Amino acid sequence: MAEIKFDTPSAGVFDKLIKSLRAKEKQIQAENIKRVTAYGAEYAKEQLRGYLGRESDVVEGIYGEVNPQGNEGKVVASHPASPYVEYGTGTVGMWSPHPTGPAPGGYRIGAWPFEHSPYGPGIFWTRGQVSKPFMYNTYMHLKDKFGK
């Protein structure tokens, strides 16, 4: 009867393999987080364009950001008017509530002037604007599509 002898690889080989696989897993997760974050930013922009029917500074202020470790991404709406667009303003916004509830700072009741209008230059009076929950919709879409 013939015998075949062999030695099993040392435990160090398996440790190196496991370490290599974990590093690859982190790399793949970081790439996926970058992709999902970029997708989320584009989705938020499309949501807002749909509400507004045009480009705006608020749309241009939306971007995706990934932390240096690559394990967390977020969609940012950086324009100062973003919360007003998201939650609405005035009595109009108060009566078209955001899905999560009223604006964190409340709503100013009454009319106030604004300078930018589709009617051209000048001062116009408004009772506010409806909520346009583009960031909330983006959050819910990403949650439904990718989980968490």
Residue 138 is predicted with a pLDDT of: 96
- Side-chain half-sphere of 7: how many Cα atoms within 13 Å? 4
C-alpha 41/C-alpha 39 separation (Å) is: 6
Residue 128 is predicted with a pLDDT of: 83
85 in Cβ contact with 70 (< 8 Å)? no
Residue 11 is predicted with a pLDDT of: 64
Instruction: Indicate the Cα dihedral angle 30, 36, 38, 43, nearest 10°.
Output: -170
Residue 118 tokens, joined: 């589709």
The values of phi and psi at residue 124, to 5°, are -125, 155
Residue 15 is predicted with a pLDDT of: 82
Residue 114 is predicted with a pLDDT of: 62
Question: What letter would DSSP give residue 98?
Answer: B
Other beta carbons within 10 angstroms of residue 53's beta carbon come to: 7
Residue 60 tokens, joined: 């241009």
Residues of the chain falling short of pLDDT 50: none
Residue 147 is predicted with a pLDDT of: 84
pTM of the shown model: 0.78
Model confidence pLDDT, tens digit, residues 24-54? 999 999 999 999 999 999 999 999 999 988 8
Residue 101 is predicted with a pLDDT of: 83
- Per domain, the residue ranges of the chain are 15-146
Q: What angle (nearest 5°) sits at the alpha carbon of residue 142, between those of residues 140 and 146?
A: 125
Residue 13 makes CB contacts below 8 A (sequence gap 6+) with none
